[in-house]
Chain A
Amino acid sequence: MGAIVAFIAVIILVLIVLAGTGAANLHFLLGVIIPYLTFVTFTIGVAYRVVKWGRSPVPFRIPTTAGQQKSLSWIKDSKLDNPSTTTGVIGRMGLEVLLFRSLFRNTSSKLYNGSIFAHKWEKWLWMGSLAFHWSFLIVLIRHFRLFMAPVPSLLHLIEAFDGFLQIGSPGIFVSGIILLGAVSYLLFRRFYIPQVRYISLTSDYFPLFLIIGIALSGILMRYFIKVDVVSAKELIMGLLTFKPIIPKGIGVIFYIHLFLVCALFAYFPFSKLMHMAGVFLSPTRNLANNSRMKRHVNPWNYPVKVHTYEEYEEDFRGKMKTAKIPVEKE
């Protein structure tokens, strides 16, 4: 159900472009206004969400400890999985963000013969996610070729690595293919694993279809329905220098690609894609486990009603004296 709604939504987005570039001739809207609006929505939206999270304090120091604590000098503590210092926390966060450390731990539990569990290492989700995110990042970086003149040498280096297959012309970029494969796998597992299917919402399918759409249109554009790259770059440089122009004859497929990208980035701040920023603020991952060494202050800590010792002794003085337990007041 959710998948169908999400799929239709993406199809509608494509149809909008077809209508816009065809009969309606809305190239300026699609090529200039919407990218600008997207940029504004994305930056303000993300900033707003992050500031809003930041406004909620972190009252307690609650890291999930995933290794030996720092205690006695001769016991080796787990500096990254249970950090007690800021350096350790940075290391832990680095591992989470760059290598998906927690997901790497993933196990799958199966029940055999009625009641014996086996908990096995499960690497597919980790591999799929890692492949997806890294290829997404590399594809994104490669796009800077279109945003920069002259193209920095670092980009050439990345392109050289990415294009190592050297097949045909234009040469094949591996990252695009991996991106499409990985995102398809993430979609596939949403259909295939019953529990994941059960929890998936429309908003889980939508970005996946959108990214598939982006990757497909990109690949089509590069290898099959060639577009005029020079004109595309002109359009983009126009946007960046605030002298927007619409060069003639770039091709519909370019507008589809651009529009879907805009949809993704405009959708970003309103969605779970905010996990990108959220992970850095997650109190179970970004705090050191040092609250017995260093005082952590809760900004909204307030006095509470307690049952004092005096009240307690009042209740039990007789019994305490009989039992020869010392009291304050005889």
Chain B
Amino acid sequence: MANIKLPKPEELSKIDHKPPQKRWMDTPAEFKQGMYCYGAKGKNLSAVDFPNARDWSPDDKDWKLPENWKEIVLEGMKERLGKYRSFHIFMDICVRCGACADKCHFFLGGGDPKNMPVLRAELLRSIYRKYFTASGKMLGKVAGARELTEDVLKELWYYYYQCTECRRCSLFCPYGIDQAEITMIGRELLNLLGLNTDWISGPVANCYMKGNHLGLEPHAIKNNIDFMVDDIETITGIKIEPSFNRKGAEILFVTPSGDLFGDPGIYTCMGYLMLFHELGLDYTWSTYASEGGNFGFFTSMEMAKRLNSKIYAEAKRLGVKWILGGECGHMWRIINQYMDTWNGPADFLEEPVSPITGTRFENAKATKMVHIIEFVADLIKHGKLKFDPGRNDQFKVTFHDSCNTARGMGIFEEPRYIIKNVCNNFYEMPENTIRERTFCCGSGSGLNAGENMELRMRGGLPRANAVRYVHERHGVNLLANVCAIDRAALPALMDYWVPGVKVAGVHELLGNALIMKGEKERTTDLRGDALPGKEGNEDA
């Protein structure tokens, strides 16, 4: 694999937002190294029966398309116009007012005009006009219509894998035109031709066959958690014994597999384990439904549904009462807006009730799945947890709202409430960069690969900028979040733009502060770093 060079931050931050003279339709896409992912491998496509399964590379001139590729795309468009009112309306009503233009982090961080959401949409809309509207058929270019050629297809691929489906554009559009929705449908069309990326199709195949994106087999999941259990014992003196695939448990716990592997995800996972132990919660992990996230969502609705089906199926098999979900972004957009519609009704489950406080989670009475942040906020409110926030005093914390929980759910107060209870130092980033206006990490929707690092650093620039603001002003050194992709993607972003800022899930902070019955005096935090005032006397 070629070593793709990442320019220095000083170079990358020279951004020109002025579009060129030449009209966009006359400017073919130029594939820039570092801005796109490797092509999918045939074996991963065929593992889930995707069409046109073969090894391919976007660098090749020949993308090994099927003979009738154009027909497939146009047929696919027609079908989706008839299936999605969203798509149909979004193709028709944009007035090109440009309100969305400077809302996209990829445009802000890169300056490529085709990364303005409106133009990203026009890439597909121009094809729509040509083949599905009278004016486009008759007037062609004057009506903003263009022929679907191989170059146009490649352009579509390049830019539809430079959108993280974050919905920030949709927030500002006077008609709610959501480029995330258009991107999702555009990617479905591309997947009809097998035009997927390695970074997405690998996890999809893994998740389908093994239950999680990382491809962790059942014993590996148990091993990883056993390691965390050992670490928790070292730090707190308490031995935790989680259970796996246990029938008759009250609650099934599902979290993204990113929490089971690698730094800093595992610290969040340790936080969950400690919390559940402290509560004496009757819950089980599952190795079959061992993925909360869903990379299928970045390929097609059908694939997403196929992967998502495991959660309800496993809840049914194990006979649990309800499901608790861990910290993740797109996982929660899916649970909130899609899961019940795809794979429900979950009439074999009960309306979720907290066994500790008796609170009925009315807002989850149909899906029967509760966000751990809601669950914990309720516990704290009822005074069921004891904290020593001083054990987070080494951190000055800010909070990054994940796009999906922000604009596909609206979970804003709960995580802040928890952070303020477990930390003494919390600072918000500027108003226009948080809550519903939050900026993407730049790596969502399956773009958190290594070979597209320049794209990720560019896309993450607006977020990093806001972090730098509180870093310089208040000395913030920890970026908290409730998303496994954030935990995987933000450390690289911080190292690049704002060195000195670490990344942590909210439950890592909670784990640090949680006072457990019978714990020994802690000298380190979950990362094994000395606690403030305990430097020099930690165990060797």
Cβ of A1 within 8 Å of any chain B Cβ, yes or no, is: yes
Chain A residues near B522: list those with CB within 8 A: none
How many Å lie between the Cα of A59 and that of B185 in the bound state? Answer: 13
> In the bound complex, do residue A195 and residue B113 qualify as a contact, i.e. CB atoms below 8 Å apart?
yes
Closest to A294 in B: B366
Chain A residues near B287: list those with CB within 8 A: 316, 320, 325
Chain B residues near A100: list those with CB within 8 A: 174
Cβ of B473 within 8 Å of any chain A Cβ, yes or no, is: no
Cβ of B279 within 8 Å of any chain A Cβ, yes or no, is: no
Chain B residues near A1: list those with CB within 8 A: 23
Cβ of B99 within 8 Å of any chain A Cβ, yes or no, is: yes
Expressed in whole angstroms, the minimum distance between the Cβ of A288 and any Cβ of chain B is 12
B contact face: mostly helix, strand, loop, or mixed: helix
Q: Which of B49, B113, B378, B410 contacts A289 (CB 8 A)?
A: B410
How many Å lie between the Cα of A56 and that of B89 in the bound state? Answer: 9
Quick one: given A129-B97, A323-B218, are A59 and B411 in contact (CB under 8 Å)?
A: no
- Chain B CB within 10 A, most for which of A57, A71, A278, A312: A71
Expressed in whole angstroms, the minimum distance between the Cβ of B354 and any Cβ of chain A is 10
Q: List 22 A-B contacts (CB under 8 A).
A: A53-B88, A56-B82, A56-B85, A62-B181, A71-B361, A84-B363, A103-B99, A103-B172, A107-B437, A115-B9, A125-B99, A129-B97, A283-B86, A295-B340, A305-B49, A306-B309, A307-B208, A312-B210, A316-B218, A319-B218, A325-B244, A325-B245
Say which one of A34-42, A73-81, A147-155, A166-174 lies at the interface with B.
A73-81
Cβ of B310 within 8 Å of any chain A Cβ, yes or no, is: yes
Chain B residues near A57: list those with CB within 8 A: 83-85
Chain B residues near A94: list those with CB within 8 A: none
> In the bound complex, do residue B101 and residue A114 qualify as a contact, i.e. CB atoms below 8 Å apart?
no
Cβ of A105 within 8 Å of any chain B Cβ, yes or no, is: yes
Contacts of B209-243 to chain A: CB distance below 8 A: 209-211, 217-219, 222-223
Quick one: given A284-B178, A295-B345, A319-B217, are A201 and B414 in contact (CB under 8 Å)?
A: no
Cβ of A234 within 8 Å of any chain B Cβ, yes or no, is: no
Cβ of B364 within 8 Å of any chain A Cβ, yes or no, is: yes
Chain B residues near A119: list those with CB within 8 A: 430, 432-433, 437
Contacts of A47-72 to chain B: CB distance below 8 A: 49, 52-62, 64-72
Smallest CB-CB A-B distances: 8 pairs: A69-B410, A115-B13, A284-B176, A278-B93, A65-B410, A323-B219, A119-B432, A198-B19
- Chain B CB within 10 A, most for which of A52, A70, A103, A325: A325
Expressed in whole angstroms, the minimum distance between the Cβ of A190 and any Cβ of chain B is 9
A contact face: mostly helix, strand, loop, or mixed: loop
Expressed in whole angstroms, the minimum distance between the Cβ of A268 and any Cβ of chain B is 12
Expressed in whole angstroms, the minimum distance between the Cβ of A69 and any Cβ of chain B is 3
Cβ of A193 within 8 Å of any chain B Cβ, yes or no, is: yes
Chain B residues near A326: list those with CB within 8 A: 244-247
Chain A residues near B310: list those with CB within 8 A: 306-307, 309
How many Å lie between the Cα of A193 and that of B96 in the bound state? Answer: 12
> In the bound complex, do residue A292 and residue B338 qualify as a contact, i.e. CB atoms below 8 Å apart?
no
Cβ of B501 within 8 Å of any chain A Cβ, yes or no, is: no
> In the bound complex, do residue B172 and residue A281 qualify as a contact, i.e. CB atoms below 8 Å apart?
no
> In the bound complex, do residue B462 and residue A292 qualify as a contact, i.e. CB atoms below 8 Å apart?
no
Contacts of B427-441 to chain A: CB distance below 8 A: 430, 432-433, 435-437
Chain A residues near B443: list those with CB within 8 A: none
Q: Which of B175, B337, B430 contacts A275 (CB 8 A)?
A: B175
> In the bound complex, do residue B174 and residue A103 qualify as a contact, i.e. CB atoms below 8 Å apart?
yes
> In the bound complex, do residue B407 and residue A301 qualify as a contact, i.e. CB atoms below 8 Å apart?
no
Q: Which of B93, B211, B288, B335 contacts A272 (CB 8 A)?
A: B93
Chain A residues near B469: list those with CB within 8 A: 116
> In the bound complex, do residue B86 and residue A62 qualify as a contact, i.e. CB atoms below 8 Å apart?
yes
Cβ of B14 within 8 Å of any chain A Cβ, yes or no, is: yes
Expressed in whole angstroms, the minimum distance between the Cβ of B114 and any Cβ of chain A is 10
Count of interface residues, chain A, beta-carbon cutoff 8 Å? 102
Cβ of B385 within 8 Å of any chain A Cβ, yes or no, is: no
How many Å lie between the Cα of A201 and that of B98 in the bound state? Answer: 12
How many Å lie between the Cα of A145 and that of B112 in the bound state? Answer: 51
How many Å lie between the Cα of A70 and that of B432 in the bound state? Answer: 22
Contacts of B85-138 to chain A: CB distance below 8 A: 85-89, 92-99, 101-103, 108, 113, 116, 118-119, 122, 134-135
Chain A residues near B54: list those with CB within 8 A: none
Chain B residues near A58: list those with CB within 8 A: 84-86
How many Å lie between the Cα of A116 and that of B95 in the bound state? Answer: 30
How many Å lie between the Cα of A245 and that of B406 in the bound state? Answer: 61
Cβ of A228 within 8 Å of any chain B Cβ, yes or no, is: no
- Chain A CB within 10 A, most for which of B85, B167, B374, B437: B85
How many Å lie between the Cα of A305 and that of B246 in the bound state? Answer: 26
How many Å lie between the Cα of A292 and that of B430 in the bound state? Answer: 31
Cβ of A87 within 8 Å of any chain B Cβ, yes or no, is: no
Quick one: given A69-B410, A278-B89, A322-B219, are A291 and B366 in contact (CB under 8 Å)?
A: yes
Quick one: given A129-B174, A270-B135, A293-B366, are A281 and B85 in contact (CB under 8 Å)?
A: yes
> In the bound complex, do residue A65 and residue B83 qualify as a contact, i.e. CB atoms below 8 Å apart?
no
Chain A residues near B474: list those with CB within 8 A: none
Q: Which of B13, B108, B417 contacts A114 (CB 8 A)?
A: B13
Q: Which of A55, A199, A285, A322 contacts B116 (CB 8 A)?
A: A199
Quick one: given A305-B49, A316-B217, are A72 and B142 in contact (CB under 8 Å)?
A: no
Cβ of A86 within 8 Å of any chain B Cβ, yes or no, is: no
> In the bound complex, do residue A64 and residue B176 qualify as a contact, i.e. CB atoms below 8 Å apart?
yes
Expressed in whole angstroms, the minimum distance between the Cβ of A138 and any Cβ of chain B is 20
Cβ of B64 within 8 Å of any chain A Cβ, yes or no, is: no
Expressed in whole angstroms, the minimum distance between the Cβ of A157 and any Cβ of chain B is 29
Cβ of B402 within 8 Å of any chain A Cβ, yes or no, is: no
Cβ of B177 within 8 Å of any chain A Cβ, yes or no, is: yes
Chain A residues near B84: list those with CB within 8 A: 56-59
Quick one: given A115-B461, A306-B309, are A320 and B219 in contact (CB under 8 Å)?
A: yes
- Chain B CB within 10 A, most for which of A291, A298, A313: A291
Cβ of A300 within 8 Å of any chain B Cβ, yes or no, is: yes
Cβ of B381 within 8 Å of any chain A Cβ, yes or no, is: yes
Instruction: Give a binary string over B43-78; 1 marks a CB under 8 Å from any A CB, 0 the rest.
Output: 000000100000000000000000000000000000
> In the bound complex, do residue A64 and residue B82 qualify as a contact, i.e. CB atoms below 8 Å apart?
no
Chain A residues near B538: list those with CB within 8 A: none
Q: Which of A76, A96, A193, A270 contacts B98 (CB 8 A)?
A: A193
> In the bound complex, do residue A67 and residue B366 qualify as a contact, i.e. CB atoms below 8 Å apart?
no
Chain B residues near A5: list those with CB within 8 A: 142
Cβ of A274 within 8 Å of any chain B Cβ, yes or no, is: yes
Expressed in whole angstroms, the minimum distance between the Cβ of B533 and any Cβ of chain A is 34
Q: Which of B99, B178, B245, B362 contacts A64 (CB 8 A)?
A: B178
Expressed in whole angstroms, the minimum distance between the Cβ of B47 and any Cβ of chain A is 10
Quick one: given A61-B341, A117-B108, are A292 and B369 in contact (CB under 8 Å)?
A: yes
> In the bound complex, do residue A285 and residue B247 qualify as a contact, i.e. CB atoms below 8 Å apart?
no
> In the bound complex, do residue A295 and residue B113 qualify as a contact, i.e. CB atoms below 8 Å apart?
no
> In the bound complex, do residue B89 and residue A304 qualify as a contact, i.e. CB atoms below 8 Å apart?
no
Chain B residues near A115: list those with CB within 8 A: 9, 13, 461, 465
